[in-house]
């Protein structure tokens, strides 16, 4: 008996099928995800406004926090509104071009998030371990030298990954078992060889996220060792380091589990995998501005000052 020939067409439109296992309970996911999106949008917008409008917050550390807030504000916008419409009205369709654009935006901005952590770690390193050189190296002209390399790395790797995904032939099925265009969720639908795509995805993860986390971890270990050795009082700086570590520790854990679930055998249901993928994008966006606002004295003072100004206005 001869094998049936493979279809000689490629899908140009797809349907998101994330959380389909929940059946009639799926629309109720609108509530928690909408609340998280609302929290992310409002808190990051307030933080960005404070850092721009208050001169007391125009130092390198707060500029970096402001950039992180911009990333945290933009990242959910690329997928949450579409996901909410899917939950409520079952609007699940997306074109291949739209899918690739969404993939590029999510992965590019997401990679910039981990790179920002490296810059924050660098800022804390000079502030605590090399205070005499802080203003010299953290001036914008010198600081951009540290910025250009990682940004170019991110763009090249993400562009390569997305371009290779766009060249695949999708002739098996057109249902993406996800709520947004995650790289492997799309690639695994291809009817050809995806080994190159898998390798490029692993390379991008290793050279971006893994490398950034390694640098981030080593930097903070050096900072901690320096503080313990010298006995200097740097509680505020250490608080900032702990803040970064707590939030990103959760996000990185979610990301690694979701990332490896496509590549190793596991008992995760598709809904759990999709949930973890959404959490590693949404969790930092929701809680970064709150933690920075609560744990950073200068931001907290400027926020209270801003609220008092609103109260006295007629």
pLDDT in tens, 198-209: 899 888 888 887
Percent pLDDT > 70 in the chain is 82
Q: Which two tokens stand for residue 5?
A: 């020939």
pLDDT in tens, 213-248: 888 888 888 887 877 776 655 555 566 666 667 766
Cβ distance 51 to 68 under 8 Å? Answer: no
The three-class DSSP label of residue 197 is helix
pLDDT in tens, 129-153: 888 877 777 776 676 777 788 889 9
Q: CA 138, CA 133: separation in Å to the nearest integer?
A: 8
Q: How far apart are the first and last CA of the chain?
A: 85
Q: Poorest-confidence range of 181-195, 232-246, 299-313? A: 232-246
The confidence score (pLDDT) of residue 164 equals 93
Distances from the Cα of 313 to the Cα of 52, 306, 308, angstroms: 20, 11, 9
Residues whose CB is less than 8 angstroms from the CB of residue 19 and which lie 6 or more positions away in sequence, other chains included: 26, 29, 179, 271, 274, 275
Pick the closest to residue 83 from 8, 30, 9, 12 (CA basis): 30
Cβ distance 220 to 117 under 8 Å? Answer: no
Q: CA 227, CA 252: separation in Å to the nearest integer?
A: 26
Whole-structure pTM value: 0.84
pLDDT in tens, 242-300: 666 776 677 677 667 766 666 666 666 778 888 888 888 888 888 888 877 777 777 88
The confidence score (pLDDT) of residue 162 equals 94
Q: What's the pLDDT band for 32 if we cut at 50, 70, 90?
A: very high
Where are the domains positioned within the chain? Answer: 24-312
Distances from the Cα of 70 to the Cα of 53, 62, 73, angstroms: 15, 12, 5
Cβ distance 13 to 173 under 8 Å? Answer: no
Q: CA 162, CA 145: separation in Å to the nearest integer?
A: 27
CATH architecture, domain 24-312: Up-down Bundle (1.20)
pLDDT in tens, 76-114: 999 999 999 999 888 888 988 999 999 999 999 988 888
The confidence score (pLDDT) of residue 42 equals 92
The confidence score (pLDDT) of residue 2 equals 43
The confidence score (pLDDT) of residue 247 equals 66
pLDDT, mean of residues 111-121: 83
């Amino acid at each position: 008996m001869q094998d049936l020939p493979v279809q000689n067409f490629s899908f140009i439109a797809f349907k998101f099928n994330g959380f389909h296992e929940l059946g009639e309970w799926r629309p109720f996911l609108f509530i928690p995800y909408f609340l998280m999106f609302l929290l992310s949008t409002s808190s990051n917008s307030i933080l960005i406004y404070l850092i721009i409008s208050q001169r007391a917050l125009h130092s390198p550390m707060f500029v970096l926090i402001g950039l992180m807030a911009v990333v945290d504000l933009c990242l959910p916008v690329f997928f949450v509104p579409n996901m909410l419409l899917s939950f409520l009205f079952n609007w699940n369709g997306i074109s291949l071009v739209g899918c690739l654009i969404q993939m590029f935006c999510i992965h590019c901005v997401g990679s910039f998030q981990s790179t920002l952590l490296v810059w924050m770690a660098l800022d804390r390193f000079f502030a605590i371990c090399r205070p005499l050189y802080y203003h010299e190296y953290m001036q914008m002209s010198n600081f951009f030298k540290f910025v250009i390399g990682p940004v170019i790395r991110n763009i090249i790797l993400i562009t390569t990954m997305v371009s290779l995904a766009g060249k695949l032939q999708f002739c098996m099925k057109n249902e993406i078992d996800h709520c947004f265009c995650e790289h492997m969720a799309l690639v695994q639908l291809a009817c050809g060889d995806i080994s190159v795509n898998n390798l490029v995805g692993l390379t991008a993860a290793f050279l971006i996220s893994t490398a950034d986390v390694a640098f981030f971890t080593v930097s903070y270990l050096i900072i901690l060792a320096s503080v313990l050795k010298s006995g200097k009082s740097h509680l505020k700086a250490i608080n900032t380091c702990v803040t970064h570590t707590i939030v990103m520790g959760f996000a990185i854990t979610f990301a690694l589990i979701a990332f490896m679930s496509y590549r190793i055998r596991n008992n995760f249901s598709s809904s759990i995998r999709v949930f973890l993928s959404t959490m590693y994008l949404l969790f930092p966006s929701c809680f970064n501005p709150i933690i920075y606002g609560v744990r950073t004295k200068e931001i907290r003072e400027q926020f209270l000052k801003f609220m008092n100004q609103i109260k006295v206005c007629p």
